[in-house]
């Protein structure tokens, strides 16, 4: 194995997007992934237009994405009788040059893996390789410590290490040994997919309830022509009054429906039957809504963090997966400018660490779902005419302030130059060891 390699710890969405990007710009890389087998795990996630733009630039096409999901049409909050509180178009319908996609996380992950294997070969991802830490070598290179599937240990030497090993990142734990434990605000989410009839359009995100108890759901497949049923991704969420009482057994585990469906027993209306939606799911996962306190930097010499390892955040803004893809592209752009060097890691860190850290803290609030709380307080969630509960101006003002903070800037994105210019490559002679202005 050549020590000119960039080593990527973690073959999730962020790690694979990074590998595809580095391959595109001519930087040799390898992904070390802990699991022994790549499997299509998870349920739905949203790919925002800024991430879809990057995927297109990576040669992941619209047809590819249509195989694993569908373009989202609208985002809507509704009352307990299904009447609209607020809605807005999404993706192309909102004026973006790129769609927003609602996809099956596992199938999308497999798509990235398949493209990587086609382009670099099967050896691009070394399965059964759990990264346990790193060593900064005196010659400027980095030694990556691995626990193999058979429990033996080994070390791989590389020019840079990208820690894309998710929310429980071993790389981050070494880089920031004093970081506080995972932050949990007391909310538990149960996620699943159920074949059911889509509500409103055939591609609407719908949210109802309150900030403390709600369900959101959206299709991640087109309706089947014969039955009209689509795969609906749903997330049922409850904030516990006494979080200490909750039996926390892991961070993302399959659970029995009977463990939690009682929270939604009364959520049956003529337009929506929440317990039935939940009960008909194939499998259900429980995960507490967790994130991590921001850290001041994502770089330690030849090592950088990316994706959830850098910025695990609440899913309030549906942007965790998208940000991991954008991270990969910003890192690639920095390498085009500075070579695959520590300077590129510093440029990437300078560009993203501070603003994304602010986003983590902002996502801890109710976000756009705060509007549901106002409606609940004023009407109990059921109303005939929303204007009598909260005026159009007040609704628009509430959402505008959230969107300004979350940076959903359509014109800015549409006008932005590609993150990585088409055909850009990293010059071969710009290796890590030649960097003169490296951070320690
Ligand atoms: C199994 C799974 C299911 C998920 N399901 C959903 C979902 O349904 N909805 C949703 O919104 N988000 C889900 N997520 C999270 C979502 O994918 C991420 O928030 C987001 O895509 C950012 O991606 P990431 O690559 O940074 O992290 P992840 O997608 O979490 O990927 C991290 C990768 O690193 C690997 N890894 C971890 N530790 C090590 C180590 N020490 N050495 C080597 N490899 C390591 C993991 O196996 C994983 O493949 C899921 C994540 C996982 C791992």
- Mean pLDDT, rounded, for 191-202: 95
Confidence tier at 11 by pLDDT (50, 70, 90): very high
Ligand 1 close to Cβ of residue 164 (< 6 A):
yes
CA–centroid distance, 253 to ligand 1, in Å, is 13
Beta strands in 123-171 (DSSP E): 125-126, 129-136, 142-148, 153-158, 160-163
- Mean pLDDT, rounded, for 40-62: 95
Ligand 1 close to Cβ of residue 38 (< 6 A):
no
Ligand 1 close to Cβ of residue 163 (< 6 A):
no
User: Highest-confidence range of 2-6, 107-111, 369-373, by mean pLDDT?
Assistant: 107-111
List, for residues 235-265, the tens digit of each pLDDT value: 999 988 766 666 666 677 888 999 899 999 9
Question: Residue 289: phi, psi to the nearest 5?
Answer: -80, 105
**For ligand 1, atom 11, which residue shows the shortest CA distance?**
45
**For ligand 1, atom 3, which residue shows the shortest CA distance?**
42
Distance CA 17, CA 256 (A): 33
| Residue 428 host element (H or E) | none
- Mean pLDDT, rounded, for 132-158: 97
Q: Which region among 19-23, 202-206, 316-320 has the lowest average model confidence (pLDDT)? A: 316-320
Confidence tier at 440 by pLDDT (50, 70, 90): very low
**For ligand 1, atom 7, which residue shows the shortest CA distance?**
42
Residue 196: pLDDT above 80? yes
Per-residue model confidence (pLDDT) at position 252: 73
Per-residue model confidence (pLDDT) at position 93: 96
List, for residues 292-318, the tens digit of each pLDDT value: 999 999 999 999 999 999 999 988 777
Per-residue model confidence (pLDDT) at position 250: 63
Average predicted confidence (pLDDT) for the chain: 91
> CA torsion angle for 168, 170, 173, 175 (degrees, to 10)?
-130
List, for residues 203-231, the tens digit of each pLDDT value: 999 999 988 899 999 999 999 999 999 99
CA–centroid distance, 361 to ligand 1, in Å, is 21
Q: Which atom of ligand 1 is nearest to the CA of 170?
A: 41
Q: What is the CA 272 to chain-centroid distance, rounded?
A: 28
Confidence tier at 407 by pLDDT (50, 70, 90): low
101, 107 contact by CB (below 8 A)? no
Per-residue model confidence (pLDDT) at position 433: 45
Q: Which residue in 236, 227, 226, 228 sits closest to 206, CA to CA?
A: 236
- Mean pLDDT, rounded, for 162-167: 96
Long-range (24+ apart) CB contacts under 8 A made by 254-258 are 254/283, 254/284, 254/285, 254/286, 255/190, 255/284, 255/285, 255/286, 256/284, 257/281, 257/284
Residue 197: pLDDT above 60? yes
Strand partners, 291: 183
First to last CA, the chain: 25
Q: Which atom of ligand 1 is nearest to the CA of 191?
A: 8
Confidence tier at 2 by pLDDT (50, 70, 90): low
List, for residues 373-402, the tens digit of each pLDDT value: 899 999 998 999 999 999 999 998 888 776
Ligand 1 close to Cβ of residue 324 (< 6 A):
yes
Confidence tier at 403 by pLDDT (50, 70, 90): low
Q: Which region among 90-94, 198-202, 253-257 has the lowest average model confidence (pLDDT)? A: 253-257
CA–centroid distance, 166 to ligand 1, in Å, is 5
């Amino acid at each position: 194995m050549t020590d000119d390699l960039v080593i990527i710890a973690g073959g999730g969405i962020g790690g694979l997007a990074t590998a595809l990007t580095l391959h595109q710009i001519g930087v040799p890389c390898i992904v070390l992934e802990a699991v022994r087998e790549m499997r299509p795990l998870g349920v739905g996630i949203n790919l925002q237009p800024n991430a879809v733009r990057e995927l297109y630039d990576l040669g992941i096409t619209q047809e590819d994405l249509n195989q694993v999901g569908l373009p989202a049409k609208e985002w809507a909050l509704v009352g307990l009788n299904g009447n609209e509180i607020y809605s807005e178009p999404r993706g192309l319908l909102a004026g973006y040059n790129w769609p927003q996609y609602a996809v099956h996380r596992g199938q999308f992950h497999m798509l990235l893996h398949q493209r990587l294997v086609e382009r670099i070969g099967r050896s691009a991802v070394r399965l059964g390789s759990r990264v346990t830490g790193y060593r900064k070598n005196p010659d400027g290179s980095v030694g990556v410590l691995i626990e193999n599937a058979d429990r033996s240990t080994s070390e791989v030497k590389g020019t840079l290490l990208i820690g894309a090993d998710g929310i429980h990142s071993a790389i981050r734990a070494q880089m920031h040994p004093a970081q506080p434990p995972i932050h949990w605000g007391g909310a538990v989410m149960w996620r699943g997919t159920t074949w059911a009839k889509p509500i409103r359009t055939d591609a609407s995100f719908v949210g109802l309830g309150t900030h403390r108890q709600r369900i959101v759901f959206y299709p991640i497949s087109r309706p089947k022509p014969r039955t009209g049923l689509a795969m609906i991704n749903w997330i049922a969420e409850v904030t516990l009054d006494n979080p200490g009482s909750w039996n926390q057994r892991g961070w993302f585990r399959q659970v029995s429906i009977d463990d939690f469906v009682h929270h939604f027993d009364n959520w049956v209306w003529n337009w929506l039957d929440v317990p039935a939606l939940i009960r008909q799911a194939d499998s259900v996962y429980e995960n507490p809504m967790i994130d991590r306190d921001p850290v001041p930097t994502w770089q330690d010499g030849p090592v950088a963090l990316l994706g959830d390892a850098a910025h695990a955040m609440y899913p309030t803004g549906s942007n965790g997966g998208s940000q991991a893809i954008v991270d990969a592209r910003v890192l690639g752009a920095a390498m085009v400018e500075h070579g695959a060097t520590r300077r590129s890691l510093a440029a990437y860190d300078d560009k993203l660490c501070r603003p994304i850290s602010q986003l983590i803290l902002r996502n801890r609030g109710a976000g756009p779902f705060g509007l549901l709380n106002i409606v609940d307080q004023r009407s109990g969630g059921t109303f005939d005419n929303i204007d009598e509960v909260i005026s159009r101006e007040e609704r628009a003002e509430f959402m505008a302030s959230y969107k300004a903070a979350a940076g959903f800037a359509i014109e800015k994105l549409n006008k932005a130059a590609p993150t990585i210019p088409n055909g850009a490559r990293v010059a071969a002679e710009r290796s890590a060891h030649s960097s003169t202005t490296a951070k320690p």
